A and B are shown apart, each in its own frame.
Chain A
């Protein structure tokens, strides 16, 4: 079965959509993992030249985008009550400064 090979702009569009979806996760760890996984996946498949493997990597990416979109909605319903310390970093620095002044 011959699949349609995606164009360059379609690939970039998928990449950008995945990164945009990754941003929507409320949990720091999931958000950063999704971002990292997207970037690593695209880097890894950068050198593909065989049309079949390009097409299958692209459709895998599209399927993952659907999963990410769905999970962003589901996780937003069960958002962690306490934020990760990584999300609080600017406040934390301010607090240390505050202690230092005292």
Chain B
């Protein structure tokens, strides 16, 4: 008898689904939505992806020395490019991210940081 009880307790312990954990935090749908749409984590990961893609675009540009490309590099001061090259890089970024950057904004982009800021905040960038 005692053995049977011990065995059933063991089986129950094995089969029991642990309900307590996780439910408290995520029970309300509001929390679920907040987690889904306002997560800092998602935004920062998109931003780091943008940074990687921008850097690879700039590295692929013929005149750039790939070893000099850093996330803080300025096109003209650090990479030795001129204004024509900056225009070409912005055009290449447009092709990479599949949207058009207006001329006014494109003129302002003169470093990798600024490019990442602008693209990550743009809703059409993909």
Task: Enumerate chain A interface residues (CB-CB to B < 8 A).
Answer: 8-9, 12-13, 15-16, 19-20, 23, 39, 42-43, 46
Contacts and interface: CB of A to CB of B under 8 A. Distances in A.
Interface in B61-107: 82-84, 87-88, 91, 95, 103, 106-107
A19 B84 contact: no
B91 A12 contact: no
23 contacts: A8-B83, A9-B107, A12-B83, A12-B84, A12-B87, A12-B107, A13-B103, A15-B84, A15-B87, A16-B87, A16-B91, A16-B103, A16-B106, A19-B88, A19-B91, A20-B91, A23-B95, A39-B84, A39-B88, A42-B84, A43-B84, A46-B82, A46-B84
Interface of B: 82-84, 87-88, 91, 95, 103, 106-107
A12 B95 CA distance: 19
Contacts of A16: 87, 91, 103, 106
A42 B83 CA distance: 11
A19 B107 contact: no
B83 A19 contact: no
Given A15-B84, A16-B106, A23-B95, 16 more contacts: A12-B84, A12-B87, A12-B107, A13-B103, A15-B87, A16-B87, A16-B91, A16-B103, A19-B87, A19-B91, A20-B91, A39-B84, A39-B88, A42-B84, A43-B84, A46-B84
Nearest to B95: A23
Contacts of A39: 84, 88
A8 B107 CA distance: 11
Contacts of B107: 9, 12
A19 B86 CA distance: 13
A8 B87 CA distance: 13
Q: Which of B82, B83, B106, B107 is most buried by chain A, counting CB atoms within 10 A of its CB?
A: B83
